[in-house]
């Protein structure tokens, strides 16, 4: 039995679209950050699917680097969220609309 690679790509497109939608519709800054992680995961699935199809290792190594960068990014991003909460006492992005802290 065989699964077409297109199915993996369609699943990745669905997850990416849900991530874009959550990024636009969510008002909580932590939820917005989580939807960014969802989009990163969707793209990772595309990399792994193509790596499997072409029998190339480099696709999986791209995913490895994406994971490393995502870990660093989430640490810095959550620190920024803590700093914003400290300055504004809110997590709603509609109330964080000034460049000045």
Partner 1 sequence: MYLVLFFIFAGLCVAAAINLLLQRQPINSALSLIVVMTSLAVLYLLLGAEFLAAAQVIVYSGAIMVLFTFVIMLLNASSEERTLGTARTAYIVGVPGVAALLGLLTYVFLENRTALGGSRLGDSLMTTADLSRVLFRDLLLPFEVTSVLILIAILGAVALAGRQGGADPVKAALDRPLTAPSAVFGANQPLPGGPQQATPGDTLGQPYLGKEPYPGKELQA
The residues in 25-64 that bind partner 1, with binding defined as CB under 8 A, are: 25-28, 30-31, 33-35, 37-38, 41, 44-45, 48-49, 51-53, 55, 57-58, 60-61, 63-64
Q: How many CB atoms lie within 10 A of CB 65?
A: 9
> Which positions ≥6 away from 45 have C-beta within 8 Å?
8, 11, 12, 15
- Residue reference for tokens 């995961």: 41
Helix (H, G, I), strand (E, B) or coil at 92: strand
| C-alpha span between 36 and 91 (Å, rounded) | 17
Q: Report the residue from 86, 98, 99, 100 that binds partner 1 according to the rule CB under 8 A.
A: 86
Of 7-26, binders to partner 1 (CB under 8 A) are 7-11, 13-22, 24-26
The gap from C-alpha 70 to its chain's centroid, in whole angstroms, comes to 8
96 binds partner 1 (CB under 8 A): no
Q: How far is the CB of 77 from partner 1 (least distance, A)?
A: 9
Q: How far is the CB of 61 from partner 1 (least distance, A)?
A: 6
Q: How far is the CB of 98 from partner 1 (least distance, A)?
A: 14
């Amino acid at each position: 039995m065989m699964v077409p690679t297109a199915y993996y790509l369609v699943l990745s497109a669905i997850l990416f679209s849900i991530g874009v939608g959550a990024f636009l519709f969510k008002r909580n800054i932590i939820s917005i950050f989580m939807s960014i992680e969802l989009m990163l995961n969707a793209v990772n699935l595309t990399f792994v699917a193509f790596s499997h199809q072409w029998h190339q290792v480099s696709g999986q190594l791209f995913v490895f680097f994406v994971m490393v960068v995502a870990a660093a990014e989430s640490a810095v991003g959550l620190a920024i969220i803590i700093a914003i909460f400290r300055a504004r006492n809110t997590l709603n992005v509609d109330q964080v609309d000034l460049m000045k802290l």
